[in-house]
């Protein structure tokens, strides 16, 4: 069975400093991995996705993530945090062996950005 | 979230009442999903529909029923609401890419349901 672990429930950074949100996955097969962002009282927006092409994936708003198979990790980074980045972030893996193509969500990391 | 609409946006029910959450897409994709979001737990799949007229259970189907009568709409029904069903409900579609299998899903804006 596939699963996702987000290692931090909350991360707090100062505006202008780097962001690191950590995610480890468990998968018996080549996974498809995603990061979604949810701003307060809003829906979910896709930030970026990994689908077995380049291991370094660039997303929207300056975010990127690196797929490391040896470490089963897919950490999300951004060089410089902006106040508008404050939101909840979900690491997600797809169940590629399940015909439902369902998504399996981590429990989320809430990013706080201090002025 | 243009492309996937959900109604209502907010709803308060008393225990035992019934209601239907509506989801509609104008993006012509086959697969549709219902998730619930609870604090500290991410999203969990309730039911999904791979195509018009077919539905299957997800991780947490108890207390819910669904209906996919046409390609555009996928509804979620609570027959007898319970406080444990207080949650935010999201509908999603899987983005078909033709011959390339895609796992990316596009989400609606959500329905916030409170059961008292």
Q: What pLDDT band is residue A102 in, cutting at 50, 70 and 90? A: confident
Name residue, tokens 């509804």: B75
How large is the average pLDDT for residues A43-55? 88
Whether the CB-CB separation of A94 and A31 falls below 8 Å is answered with yes
pLDDT in tens, B47-91: 999 999 999 999 999 999 999 989 999 999 999 999 999 999 999
Indicate if the pLDDT at residue A108 is higher than 90: yes
pLDDT at A29: 75
d(CA A33, CA A71): 14
Q: What pLDDT band is residue A13 in, cutting at 50, 70 and 90? A: very high
Exposure letters B9-35 (e unless 16+ CB within 10 A, then b): eebebeeeeeeebebbbeeebebbbbb
Partner A contacted by B43 (CB < 8 A):
yes
Residues within 8 A of B (CB atoms), A 83-102 only: 90, 94, 96, 99-102
Residues of A in contact with B10 (CB under 8 A): none
Interface test with A, best of B4, B35, B68, B105 (most A CBs within 10 A): B105
Residue of higher predicted confidence among A41 and B2: A41
Q: State the DSSP H helix or E strand holding residue A1, giving kind and residue range, or none if neither.
A: none
How large is the average pLDDT for residues A49-58? 86
- Chain B's closest residue to A9, CA to CA, is B40
Report whether the peptide linkage leading into residue B8 is cis, meaning its omega lies within 30 degrees of zero: yes
Partner A contacted by B103 (CB < 8 A):
yes
Indicate if the pLDDT at residue B98 is higher than 70: no
Exposure letters B43-55 (e unless 16+ CB within 10 A, then b): bbbbbbbbeeeeb
Whether the CB-CB separation of B32 and B48 falls below 8 Å is answered with yes
pLDDT in tens, B48-59: 999 999 999 999
A68 φ/ψ angles, rounded to the nearest 5 degrees: -120, 105
What mean pLDDT is reported for chain A? Answer: 92
How open is the CA angle A28-A30-A35, to the nearest 5 degrees? 105
What mean pLDDT is reported for chain B? Answer: 92
* Beta carbons of B109 and A96 less than 8 Å apart: no
pLDDT in tens, B2-48: 589 999 999 999 999 999 999 999 988 889 999 999 987 889 999 99
Residues of B in contact with A51 (CB under 8 A): 103
Residues of A in contact with B101 (CB under 8 A): 101
Min Cα distance B40 → chain A (Å) is 5
Whether the CB-CB separation of A9 and A109 falls below 8 Å is answered with yes
Indicate if the pLDDT at residue B1 is higher than 50: no
Residues of B in contact with A108 (CB under 8 A): 40, 42
């Amino acid at each position: 069975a596939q699963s996702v672990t987000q290692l931090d429930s909350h991360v707090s950074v100062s505006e202008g400093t780097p962001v690191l949100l950590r995610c480890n996955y468990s998968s018996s097969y080549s996974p498809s991995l995603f990061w979604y962002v949810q701003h307060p009282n809003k829906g979910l927006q896709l930030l970026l996705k990994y689908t077995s092409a380049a291991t370094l994936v660039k997303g929207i708003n300056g975010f990127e993530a690196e797929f490391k198979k040896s470490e089963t990790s897919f950490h999300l980074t951004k060089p410089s945090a902006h106040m508008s980045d404050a939101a909840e972030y979900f690491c997600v893996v797809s169940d590629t062996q399940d015909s439902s193509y369902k998504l399996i969500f981590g429990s989320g990391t809430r990013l706080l950005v201090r002025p | 979230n243009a492309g996937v609409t959900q109604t209502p946006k907010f709803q308060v029910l008393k225990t035992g009442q019934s209601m239907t959450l509506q989801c509609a897409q104008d993006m012509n994709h086959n697969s549709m999903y219902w998730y619930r979001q609870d604090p500290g737990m991410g999203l969990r799949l309730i039911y999904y529909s791979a195509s018009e007229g077919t539905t299957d259970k997800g991780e947490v189907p108890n207390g819910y029923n669904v209906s996919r009568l046409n390609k555009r709409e996928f509804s979620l029904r609570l027959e007898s609401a319970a406080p444990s069903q207080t949650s935010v409900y999201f509908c999603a579609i899987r983005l078909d890419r033709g011959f390339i299998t895609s796992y990316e899903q596009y989400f609606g804006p959500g329905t916030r349901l409170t059961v008292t």
